[in-house]
Amino acid sequence: MVEINRAEHWTSRVVGCGSALPEHRMTNHDIARMVDTTDEWITQRTGIKERRIAAQGENTSDLAIGAARAALNHAGIDAADVDLIVLATCTPDRTMPATAVRVQEAIGMQRGTAFDVQAVCSGFVFALSVADNMIRLGQARTALVIGAETMSRVVDWQDRNSCVLFGDGAGALVLRGERHEGGKPRGVLSTHLHSDGRYWDKIHTDGGVSSTQSAGKMHLEGRDVFLHAVVNLADASQEALDAHGLTQDDLDWIVPHQANQRIVQTLGGKLNFPMEKVVLTVGHHGNTSAASIPLALSEAVSDGRIKENDLVLTPAMGSGFTWGSALIRW
């Protein structure tokens, strides 16, 4: 355990980010050759034009490892300095062990701990919350927080309502515990998590190790998901702002879970927040579940949109229902 004086105020600074995507791009025209749909139909309803699909033999861990290495390189931190990996995924390589330990082995991290969390599309916010709290409690000093998915493995490619939505990919952040010595704290300011199991069947797979001995395929009730998503995402966003006495005018960016363009645009409208300050990557990534927020963060940092000291809000909602938000001072 890292020795930290509990009387001191520690924060989890974001010091690096990275991403990894499969090479294969699947366009709407490709999908239109598989099911009864068109590029126009998909684009109008989702805003998605293409998504990345993992190759045969390319696993969630491969994408997670790529994102982890990219994030460490961006941070200028050696893997030997990492003492925590929290990986969010609902599409692990295997039932056991955790995908996180595959990352741990691959990057050469030989101390600390590595484990998975599962909250589907909310997973990255949940993983970020766990890592942040472990750093604040002195249980870790440097953490890799990863969202990685191969959603194409659980998509029903005959269901045009769901197969058009999802893609594969991974994103990662490096968090570093630092003393807050006055002024505006930087890093993860707070996280806010929720779930409501009454709606577990609104997005689910029809399989599992215990029930069917197979992963199964995804089923979702789109209208119900949309209605709950726009309310829960807005509530989680407002909760984060209220916790710090802030308003939407104080935000520099919102980087939401990239479910589809309609949900994101509706969220912007409910918060009265300009869309030009919302990072939107769903058009070329699709819905990558737990990977969507770190993928979007990595892209926005790389292209210069998100800068040092920017205030960034990351709301998410997923199957369960689960939802939450994180407020980060970059």
Tokens linked to 118: 């599962």
Residues 18 and 162 in one domain: yes
> Which residue type does 318 have?
G
What is the number of structural domains in the chain? 2
Instruction: Report how far residue 309's alpha carbon sits from residue 326's, in angstroms, rounded to the nearest whole number.
Output: 15
pLDDT digits (tens, 9 = 90+) for 34-63: 999 999 999 999 999 999 999 999 999 999
- Answer yes or no: 284 catalytic: no
Range of the domain at 173: 10-179
Q: Give the per-residue pLDDT at 222.
A: 84
Tokens linked to 92: 């692990």
Pairing of strands 84-88, 142-150: parallel
Residue 5 lies in a domain: no
Residues 98 and 202 in one domain: no
Residues 160 and 286 in one domain: no
Domain limit, last residue, from 179, 200, 231: 179
- Residue 264 maps to which CATH number? 3.40.47.10
Catalytic residue among 74, 204, 257, 285: 257
Q: What is the mean pLDDT of residues 252-264?
A: 97
> Which H or E run contains 252?
none
Instruction: Report how far residue 92's alpha carbon sits from residue 59's, in angstroms, rounded to the nearest whole number.
Output: 8
Instruction: Decide if pLDDT at 7 tops 50.
Output: no
Tokens linked to 294: 């770190």
Instruction: Report how far residue 201's alpha carbon sits from residue 181's, in angstroms, rounded to the nearest whole number.
Output: 47
pLDDT digits (tens, 9 = 90+) for 135-154: 999 999 999 999 999 999 99
Answer whether 64's CB lies under 8 Å from 74's CB. Answer: no
pLDDT digits (tens, 9 = 90+) for 156-202: 999 998 999 999 999 999 999 998 777 788 999 999 999 999 999 99
Residues 175 and 191 in one domain: no
pLDDT digits (tens, 9 = 90+) for 201-244: 999 999 999 999 999 999 999 889 999 999 999 999 999 999 99
Residues 128 and 229 in one domain: no
- Answer yes or no: 17 catalytic: no
- The CA dihedral of 308, 146, 258, 154, to the nearest 10 degrees, is 170
Residues 136 and 63 in one domain: yes
Range of weakest confidence among 4-18, 246-260, 306-320: 4-18
Catalytic residue among 121, 163, 204, 228: 121
Instruction: Return the percentage of the chain with pLDDT > 70, whole number.
Output: 98
- Give me the half-sphere count of Cα atoms (radius 13 Å) on the Cβ side of residue 288: 38
Structure confidence at residue 8 as a pLDDT band (50, 70, 90)? low
Q: Select from 252, 104, 251, 70 the least CA-distant residue to 174.
A: 70
Q: Where are the alpha helices (DSSP H) in 142-291?
A: 160-163, 222-243, 261-270, 282-285
Answer whether 146's CB lies under 8 Å from 103's CB. Answer: yes
- Answer yes or no: 192 catalytic: no
> Which residue type does 231 have?
V
Residues 26 and 168 in one domain: yes
Catalytic residue among 28, 232, 260, 287: 287
Across all residues in the chain, what is the average pLDDT?
Answer: 95
What backbone phi and psi angles, to 5 degrees, belong to 265? Answer: -65, -40
Could you tell me the CA-to-CA distances from 15 to 34, 69, 274, 298, 299 in Å, in that order? 42, 13, 27, 12, 15
Residue 4 lies in a domain: no
Q: Give the per-residue pLDDT at 105.
A: 98
pTM, to two decimals: 0.96
